[in-house]
Structure 1
Amino acid sequence: MRGHRAAVPRPHRVRARSASIAAFVVLAALVPAAATAAGTQEVGVELPYVCALPSGERPATVRISAHFPGRAKAGEAFSPTDVTTTVELPAEAVADLTASKAATARAATRLGVDVTQGEAAAEATWRGTAEPVPLPESGPLTLTTTGDVPSVTGRSDGDLTFRAGGLAVDLALGAADGTATEPGSLTVDCSLAGDAPEEGLLTTVPVGPRTADPDGTPTPSGPSPGSSGASFGPQDAPEDRQDRQGDRAPEVAEGTPGGTAAGPGAPPCLYDDGHPSTSASLNAYVTGYTNVEKLRGASLIPLSCVLIEQGPTDIEFFPDFSGGHLTQHSEGTLRHRGRPRTPPFQATFLTFGFTPTKATMVLEQTGPMTMDASGETSFITLFTSLETRVRVPLVLRVTALEVNGTPLEVGPDCRTERPLRSPEPDPSAYPGDHLVLSGSSTHQPPDQPTGYLLSSGGPLTGEVTIPAFTGCGTGGENLDRLLTASVSGPGNYVKQIQGQTCAVQVFNPLECTEDLQPLKIPVPER
């Protein structure tokens, strides 16, 4: 027996701490911010975390220090300075590392930072690196990293609040003789402990002019009437959104104040006459990383817009009516300047291990994007599990190439000869070459769902083969072999993060801008 109902309700996602790590009770103190020189506040915070190590989940202590301005002006970018992240891992972590014959560890940290102003929110990634340190013979391992962090712009008056979130510690391991160990690297995922003081609060920066109490005491100004919140990012937005800064989704600029950001910010993500919306229309931003196995590196998948037509959820009831099988079929398309493709993006690698090569690329959708979810739900326990597979044929186009500082003309039609190809679990139903990304979710009310859902987003992963290149080169110079030899091949891991969707026919200020673009900007994860 089959039933039919409307699409699964679209739960609002809470801030992700780490889906893979359970809460762990650890006591720690929050060191309050103290004002230093005029106009600057020095922040030092100690927070309890839980880290997933090969031997299990262990408590860790994370100390974060930085200098923030005492006050900022609306529309004026600033970056926290002197940012240091210190991670103290317990002795059990050292035992895990020395078990692989490691004698040294070089750390790189990726700290998620939630930035909010009023109802607007954005996520920044604070990255830090360190020189190799020897592993201690006993006791904890202390890793201290430093690095520049994204700039922030408050577009209206009101407090900007910074809170620490999930932390990833990438460790490059070395043997005593300086050679790599096996494995040569390890990523330790850490989440904020459940009893962290003030939900990981780092500091608050007032934005706007200083006001005064009747007794003359300066006080922070609150949000201005009708304020639409914060925008975090470069002050020069893409021309399509230049006149909508107050309505646009928050951004984080991977650059210095007043400088050029690493990316153009959030591109427009709108339905229009060329692609009109329906009652089931959603839009969302996606981003992520893909490994390039031959080059032993990773390329950033640029922040891209996807327009989605969400299908209804079908239920096939169990014989005893205790629950049922759920299925849902949806379709989507990438959208950039009216075409089914991503924005251009750059990647720099060491080709053949020693030659710096920079390529500008575009992923072009050449056929339908399908999104199929299936799972089960219990009417007794209300527990629901879903598995989603996204399939999309994508051709990789190279629009510019630079080898060792010398530009090489690739011509107008340099591309992979076929779409990217993933292992397909059901080739008879889904023939042809295409990328396959998978995500799963569980939901046990009253808790929020965890994992990936089409409506609320989350991580999708897969593996892809990059085909040989064709059409590359001009003037008789054939670059097909160069690109094929250096890039093409199997085993390239992909991790894509989709943000919370915006349902364009049902305005929700927690999910959509006033002009019905996605409010949530996802942060790429490795």
Structure 2
Amino acid sequence: MRGHRAATSRPPRVRARSAAIGAFVVLAATVPAAASAAGTQEVDTALPYVCALPSGRQPVTVRVSAVFPDRAEPGEAFSPTDVTTTVELPAEAVADLTALEAATARTATRLTVGVTQDEAAAEATWRGTAEPVPVPGSGPLTLTTTGDVPSVTGQGDGDLTFTAGNLAVDLELGTADGTATDPGALTLDCSPAGDAPGNGPLATVPVGTDTPGPSGSPSAPGSSPGTPDPSPGTPEDEQGNRAPKVAEDPSAKTADRDAPPCRYDDANPSTSASLNAYITGYSNVSKLRGASLIPLSCVLVEQGPTDIVEFFPDFSGAYLAQHSVGRLWYEGREQTPPFQATFLTFGFVPTKATMVLEQTGPLTLDGAGETVFATGQTSFETRVRIPLVLRVTALEVNGTPLDVGAGCRTEGPLRSPEPEPSKYPGDHLVLSGSSTHQPPAMPVGYLLSSGGALTGEATVPAFTGCGTGGEDLDRLLTASVSGPGNHIKQIQGQTCAVQVFNPAECTEDLQPLKIPVPER
């Protein structure tokens, strides 16, 4: 979102950077489902949506394709496969991107899908991601994402009907020289376009209704031979109907999985502003044409207040700012847990490295945004800055261990392009995320409190101190790994506010409940 029209003269220090975009409608037709093979049905549907852009309302078509089973049994879990979400931006929408000097766009989608059976209902989130695509200078732009989706289980006989709901399209934008635009990320908040043609269900999967009984006749309604009655613990809707069961969103796993400790203790006493959270993700290694997993790590944060920096000239809203500080924490050190990555060095030599990322200076989280008092609509962008040195603790090349010694590391911190170098000098990593919030809906995008995706680009410095006994491995690692253009996507989970226990956010011993799943 660009600044409030009445506030174009505000000082640069409080300039809001936003992820909101604007609203559109288009009519489209539905392609009927077709059976592609025994036991499955293919769906390819074009839907009219209303979304938000900086310039206002623009038309867009959203296409959803997937493969569903042609039927299922009560209590049988299944997942749609080959799920693809395609957003067709018209020329007017592309003009909004080129106005930001965007040359590339990396896309992630979050489609809410309603699942109904008789009068009972549930919701699933279908997530998709894509590699960056060029943004044309003019004309339309097609963005296509793919990804796995949660499984669904019918609780009794009756059709399971899948219907597309609200859609969020996260765009990470880059300029022709590889730096981020300003803002570096936009989120298109989209909703189905009313009663326009094409707004029918995505698919219908019959559950149990035509399953032959013992005598060869269809089973009686509500029963299926050999299938137990729904469990008494099956969730019900407000009318008492047993709702379809949707598996947990893969991006929001709970803390019953393996995770490093992430808690405050005597050595790390908490305050009223203390938050803790898990982070993970992927970092591309441009030279090796691969990606390295950022290990599941703990971050401890002291959250600063959200201050009103300046009111709009007409006092209809205000510009906001927030400053917080934090640190990585693993076994008493400000670092990530050790992690391994395996690549083909020089295109053919298998190389496995064990590494850690060490924090060598302050971790800061600075947010800027704006809010409109009458509607409560708020946009916010957060920039995370942290100096991180990459240390290599073990190396194996083509199956042969090489002794890297105790001091093998990059010469300095990973470094990103810094939008405000005079204010934030020195080498450090910069990750950005943005959000929009229109009450009563939940916020969309990254917020420090609720988490989300943070992205950035990093240059890996040359290596030093690698090797023992006169064997110099600095040049091997530098030639293999060091260099610019390494894209990073970090996912932060929901924070735990340790001074106010919330069982939806914290474990009983005040660790973060939500464990994020890395995304490319």
Fold shared by both chains (TM-score > 0.5): yes
**1:336 equivalenced with 2:330 (yes/no):** yes
Change (3 A) 1:230 1:281: farther
Change (3 A) 1:391 1:61: closer
Equivalent runs, 1:58-457 vs 2, <5 Å: 59=61, 61-65=63-67, 83-85=81-83, 194=192, 219-223=229-233, 249=254, 265-318=258-311, 322=315, 323-380=317-374, 382-457=376-451
1:411-436 per-position Cα deviation (integer Å, ceiling 9, x unaligned): 33321121112233333433332111
The residue number in structure 1 matching 2:241 is: none
DSSP-derived class of the 2:67 partner: strand
Q: Report if the CA contact (8 A) 2:310-2:318 is conserved.
A: yes
1:297 corresponds to which letter in structure 2?
A: G
1:42-69 per-position Cα deviation (integer Å, ceiling 9, x unaligned): 68665556899xxx97535433236799
Alpha-carbon offset, residue 23 of structure 1: 7.0
Give the distance between the partners of 1:399 and 1:122, measured in 2 at CA: 42
TM-score normalised by length of structure 1: 0.60
The residue number in structure 1 matching 2:5 is: none
Change (3 A) 1:355 1:288: same
DSSP-derived class of the 2:254 partner: coil
Q: Report if the CA contact (8 A) 2:379-2:434 is conserved.
A: yes
Give the distance between the partners of 1:502 and 1:25, measured in 2 at CA: 41
DSSP-derived class of the 1:327 partner: strand
Q: Report if the CA contact (8 A) 1:374-1:386 is conserved.
A: yes
1:190-243 per-position Cα deviation (integer Å, ceiling 9, x unaligned): 9996379899799899xxxxxxx9997652214389xxx98899xxxxxxxxxx
1:461-497 per-position Cα deviation (integer Å, ceiling 9, x unaligned): 2222211112222333221110011111223232222
Q: Report if the CA contact (8 A) 2:85-2:109 is conserved.
A: no
Unaligned runs of 5+ in 1: 1-17, 97-108, 130-140, 169-188, 206-212, 234-247, 252-263
Change (3 A) 1:442 1:121: closer
The residue number in structure 2 matching 1:478 is: 472
1:497 corresponds to which letter in structure 2?
A: I
Among all aligned residue pairs of Structure 1 and Structure 2, give the percentage whose two residues are the same amino acid: 59
DSSP-derived class of the 1:484 partner: helix
The residue number in structure 1 matching 2:13 is: none
**1:489 equivalenced with 2:487 (yes/no):** no
Unaligned runs of 5+ in 2: 1-18, 52-57, 95-106, 115-121, 132-141, 171-186, 208-219, 236-245
RMSD of aligned Cα (Å): 5.6
DSSP-derived class of the 1:282 partner: strand
**1:524 equivalenced with 2:518 (yes/no):** yes
1:285 corresponds to which letter in structure 2?
A: Y
Identify which range, 264-273 or 370-379, moves more after superposition: 264-273
1:477 corresponds to which letter in structure 2?
A: E
Give the distance between the partners of 2:373 and 2:145, measured in 1 at CA: 50
TM-score normalised by length of structure 2: 0.61
Q: Report if the CA contact (8 A) 2:61-2:89 is conserved.
A: no
1:65 corresponds to which letter in structure 2?
A: V
2:408 corresponds to which letter in structure 1?
A: C
